[in-house]
């Protein structure tokens, strides 16, 4: 029998998109799977939508908390998950039907692999391929190069300490560093595995003050990692810029 996969969908005020995201998750060709919906204190009709799915379908669960942020909501859902493997999914994005089956196959066959990801696409206010470089721990030290919707083992989530509640942005980057800084391989499948919705209010880290707060927390949590890989602490200007992306493209690292 195949191992159980848990798709964990935290959401906050996603009434407009949540049902579509759940329906897309249900199109996955992989079985067995469960879907865990975590309402992070929504003030719109999203919770009612999630409750209705959980009422109608046995393999969908609904959890609710006061608004505490995506990291706390995601950790709550994963802590309740029964699956061997975890797939986080934002409440307005799409996971493509064949991705989970292919990703489970890789993780089952290769215990040294910690994360399986895939090619991605934008949709909504922007369309096209989401270009990320091949995984390299030196690049991960400078910029998040993994999408949040990648498959990994629940045991590795626990060992990494989960998603950091104090991170007010880039919480997935912090999590990938926690999981991979001491070893582990990443496999990117040659397929479109997810679609990332771009909306006018899509989350962006816009202010320098917030960027500094995030950098300071990353440095505090991963001091030795940045010293080992970068030769010193992470600084804002060390993260990617357009010229840096052009250099990666020229070197064939960005596709």
> pLDDT of 59-117, one tens digit each?
999 999 999 999 999 999 999 999 999 999 999 999 999 999 999 999 999 999 999 99
Per-residue confidence (pLDDT) for residue 237, from 0 to 100: 57
Q: How far apart are CA 200 and CA 125, in angstroms?
A: 7
> What's the Cα-to-Cα distance from 210 to each of 22, 168, 201, 204, 230, rounded to whole Å?
32, 8, 17, 10, 22
Can you list the alpha helix ranges (DSSP code H) found in 110-153? 137-140
Q: Where are the domains of the chain?
A: 5-203
> pLDDT of 109-153, one tens digit each?
999 999 999 999 988 877 788 778 899 999 999 999 999 999 999
Q: Which of 196, 19, 194, 6 lies closest to 98 in space, CA to CA? A: 194
Banded pLDDT at 241 (limits 50, 70, 90): very low
Structure token digits, residue 176 = 């990938």
DSSP 27: T
Instruction: Summarize the confidence of residues 175-201 as an average pLDDT.
Output: 94
Per-residue confidence (pLDDT) for residue 247, from 0 to 100: 52
The superfamily (CATH) of domain 5-203 is: Spore Coat Polysaccharide Biosynthesis Protein SpsA; Chain A (3.90.550.10)
């Amino acid at each position: 029998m195949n191992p159980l996969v848990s798709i964990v969908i935290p959401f906050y005020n996603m009434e407009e998109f949540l049902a579509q995201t759940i329906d897309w998750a249900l199109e996955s060709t992989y079985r067995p799977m469960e879907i865990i919906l975590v309402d992070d204190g929504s003030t719109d009709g999203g919770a009612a939508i999630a409750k209705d799915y959980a009422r109608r379908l046995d393999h969908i669960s609904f959890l609710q908390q006061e608004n505490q942020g995506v990291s706390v909501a995601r950790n709550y859902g994963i802590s309740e998950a029964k699956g061997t493997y975890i797939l986080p999914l934002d409440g307005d994005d799409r996971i493509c039907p064949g991705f989970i089956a292919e990703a489970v196959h890789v993780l089952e066959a290769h215990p040294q692999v910690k994360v399986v990801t895939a090619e991605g696409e934008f949709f909504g206010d922007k369309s096209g391929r989401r270009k990320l470089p091949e995984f390299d721990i030196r690049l991960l030290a400078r910029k998040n190069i993994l999408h949040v919707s990648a498959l990994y083992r629940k045991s590795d989530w626990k060992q990494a300490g989960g998603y950091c509640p104090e991170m007010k942005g880039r919480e997935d980057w912090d999590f990938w560093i926690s999981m991979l800084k001491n070893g582990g391989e990443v496999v990117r499948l040659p397929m479109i595995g997810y679609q990332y919705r771009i909306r006018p209010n899509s989350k962006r880290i816009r202010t320098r003050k917030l960027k500094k707060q995030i950098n300071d927390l990353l440095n505090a949590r991963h001091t030795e990692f940045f010293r080992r890989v970068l030769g010193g602490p992470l600084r804002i200007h060390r993260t990617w810029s357009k010229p840096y992306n052009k250099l990666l493209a020229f070197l064939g690292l960005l596709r």
